[in-house]
Structure 1
Amino acid sequence: MSGAIIDFFPQTNHLKGNYVRLGLVSRIFSGGTPDKGNLDYWEGGDIPWIGSGEVNQGIVQNPTAHITRQAVERSATKLFPKDSLIMALAGQGKTKGTVARMGIDAYGNQSLGCISDYSGESRFLYWWLTSLYREIRNLSSQETRDGLNQSMLGQIPVPLFDLATQRQIADFLDRETARIDLLIEKKQRLVALLAERQVEALEAAVLGGANVQRGNGGEWLSDLAQGWRFIPLKHFVSSKGGATPSKDRDDFWVGEIPWVSPKDMKVDVIEDVPDHVSEAAVKGSALSLIPEGAVLIVVRGMILARYVPVCRLGCEGTINQDMKALISDNRVASSEYLQLMLQGFSSVLMTFVEEAAHGTKKLRSDQLFNMKFPVPPLDVQAGIIRNYLAMRDHNKSLQEKTNSSIDHLKEYRSALITAAVTGQIDVTTYAKSGTPDRHLDAIQEEMGA
């Protein structure tokens, strides 16, 4: 085997035995994509066809699309048989280099490499290639979308374990990784549940007992708690807009005044941002200085297709034209409460989002300012803020511990796969020794999750 290739795979140093090139013990080929412009290839088709993204299924059961018999006969697509393996030769993010098992017969595209007719146990080969994920990706440039090819796959080393040993290792990893994956899934559900409960708690806190009828400009069906009042936003909030100073004026962009745009709206309180403008920019453009404590809201952009970002300015600054700065009358509502109130009504605000020019989204500011919000007395506002922040900090701590536990489980899973496929552990006795249970218990105790 070529020394240049084998150097990519340090796992071979731990193998209990010899290895061989994958191309010598399997058949490796790619498929193709029927012409998308030819409707005869796609309309009414009943033959499964997959793209590279389907490797993320692990075991491919659901095709990307269906094609016709004519597409099979007149294009370069090829059959990837059930029980063969596929690997993404291209793809963004984590897709490239990911391997999956074919749970169905399906035709595939040119961005997939199919590994068929393996002379050993295909489940073992799946786990072996999974353990080499990073090394396989590094065979090609990280910037190259079509970095991997069939020749590279053919050079990958494969252990020469006997068939019985391969099956024992595959059985062990099928069983043990399923246990780990179940734990990871439970913890991921817990993280999602904590986030959902936090949203629900905030919504309940700022409603004041009112039952909002969404999408009708802010009409409520039930009475408010004692001391609360329905007040149109425009009666206790003023606003300022923003702008983008000329990019041709270098002197406009060498200052120390933060210039906030929607991409910066990922935190609760903005203390600083990457972009800054000068005093000359404020004087020589449509920019306005926004006071510290103002609540910022995005009113234009594709982010509004998902949610309405709201945060608070922790310093004096400026904003661009896709945002509004809301300045609350502190005799009616504190800026901290205004922020929480708008965040709590995020689902209602989404009903004010509509299509703008060039396909982007915009928030109807007129509807927002005419909307009547339930506003409690200032002392009640302070209590809501205090209780919500305490709950948020508690949830954040639980989420961080749980996410850390998930990371540890993933690391243990990866290490277990490598140890098993290289023969560093005896899989016939490892589980019986209780070692996997002790590892999982240790992760649970260490993270307190």
Structure 2
Amino acid sequence: MSQRIDPPVSAMAAATGCRVVDLDFVIVGGGILGTAVAAVASQADYRVLVLRMTDRGRPRADTLRNQGWLQSGVLYPMGIFKDEAEYRLLGTMTYFGGREMLARCGMEPSNERAVVRVRDPVRVREIEAKAKLLRLRSENFRRLDSADAQASLGALFERGSAYFLCPDCPFDEAAVLTHFRGEAVKNGAQFLEIDEPVKLLRRGDHIAICWDGITLDSPVTLITAGAGGLELLRQIECAVPAEIRQTPLLVHPNSCGVPVPILVDFERQFSLVKHPCTPADALVIGTKVHQQPVSFIAPEQRRVSKSDAASFRRFLHPHLEQSMQTGRFTAGFEVMPTATAGVTHLEPFVKTFDNVVFASPGRATLALQAAEKAFSATRAIVDARGRRRFEFVARSSRAWCDPIDMHYQPTYQFNDAEV
């Protein structure tokens, strides 16, 4: 049993060979945001413990179920913003935020570019107007002529459409997680891999975190557990102005002859991202099909219904319909702030409840900015309490140091489709 302990107990724990760790706060959730917060906090000399569900068998972190692309904001719907200034602010933050994150990780953005298909003249003008608002240069955004579009898309090309080259590109989320984890560990952060979800219990002015027969009393707790974070807050009777959306993603183990790294088709209402993995490039395809709101469900219990799968097929280009036969579904969960939250689902969302902080990155592109925002909110609570470190006695839990695999890699064979 681990708990907040007095010095004599600490001495006894050390004498029995247990590892004693001094902590400033605990992070529940080790996706791209949790690892980024650990890196930011540990660099500022804050000692953190990250609790992360194991990904063995299937990815538990919502991050690892992502399509994984570096977004520019040019594809964000204008309708969710109050005005052009708000859109431009978030779009610019998205464009530069993702590149800042990769730079911190010693990575360069891909030179590959997304292709966007539209037919509606109103939407054509809207995309061109958004590119001007974001001040995108011609090397990153331009309308393709028919010959260039056909050469870029091959069998996916459709006459009578307008095609744009956009700066969105895939990025290696697993490499980003690995970097942040390594940076955090180097600076003293602790990562523990656990087999069962944690439970939260309110005890006066602090939260008891329970897992695997261990109880840890943490004066300050940061929750970065994606959709699962809403369930954790429910356990301590905190209500976040957000709900969960389930979105089916179809994973195909090879590129299906798709030449572009990303295709966003506004007319058919699907998107695809091509990721390099062994033995071949994998495609991750999403459509407008989703269910919202839904209750939190553990990853191994999530299912894509037959009706959703049938609807999914209707949005695909005929060239991609074969992927339904040989691909597999994964049911991704997203945190969707409600109108009262004051943010969109595209941007970092941080909410404080006394000594508990809930955080969601919005888009993985903004994980570093979300981490800095979440750490700032958490540090304010820690410092207000006098920054009294507490002790954790590590006994049986495993350190999380496994290679990080994404859901589209051959490591995972599960299929969330109803059969």
The question of a shared fold, defined as TM-score above 0.5 by the shorter chain, is answered with no
Higher strand fraction (1 or 2)? 2
TM-score by length of 2: 0.20
Larger radius of gyration: 1
Higher relative contact order (CA 8 A, sep 6+): 2
